[in-house]
Amino acid sequence: MIREFHTSDTEQVMKLWLAGNEDAHSFIPKEYWRSHFAEVQEDLLKAKVFVCDTDGKIQGFIGMVNEYIAGIFVDKNCRSCGIGKQLLISAKQKHDTLSLSVYQKNTRAVAFYLREGFSILSEAVDEATGETEYTMFWKKTI
């Protein structure tokens, strides 16, 4: 079930965030993600977050800042089960346009967003990591 984030979800969501970043971004040192943990946890409480909750276990979440997708994270054991797609569909139902940034080397995520109707708008180097990232964009069609 997709539902709004509750502050009591913070620990589960942050564990998913850290594990998901370390797993998907092997090309970035794990310490980078760990050093940003507290900052992201603080930002999480300011964002609009929806979780996929199955019997109290959060299997994935999407974080939104207006029309910007800050991230979609799915438990490693639940990937390729449609959870990311459900979270994205939920966001598409609430917005006419969406954008996001994704690292070029995160080929699984890039392929997912392309499959879901996003296009690559631009690419730039993320100064914090030195990695190339894409800005991707989606617009609702009538």
Residue 135: pLDDT band (50, 70, 90) is very high
Q: What is the pLDDT of residues 40-99, one digit of tens each?
A: 999 988 899 999 998 889 999 999 999 999 999 999 887 778 899 999 999 999 999 999
Residue 83: its pLDDT value, please?
Answer: 93
Pairing of strands 48-54, 57-65: antiparallel
Residue 78: its pLDDT value, please?
Answer: 78
Taking alpha carbons only, the member of 38, 45, 36, 61 closest to residue 128 is 36
Judged by DSSP in three states, 61 sits in strand
| Residue 82 falls in which region: left (phi positive, over 0), alpha (psi -120 to 50) or beta | left
Q: What is the pLDDT of residues 109-128, one digit of tens each?
A: 999 999 999 999 999 999 99
CATH of 2-139, one of 1.10.3720.10, 2.40.50.1040, 3.40.630.30, 1.20.5.440: 3.40.630.30
Residue 10: pLDDT band (50, 70, 90) is very high
Residue 45: its pLDDT value, please?
Answer: 86
Contact 97, 137 (CB under 8 A): yes
The yes-or-no verdict on residue 142 having pLDDT over 80 is no
Q: Would you kindly state where each structural domain of the chain is located, as residue ranges?
A: 2-139
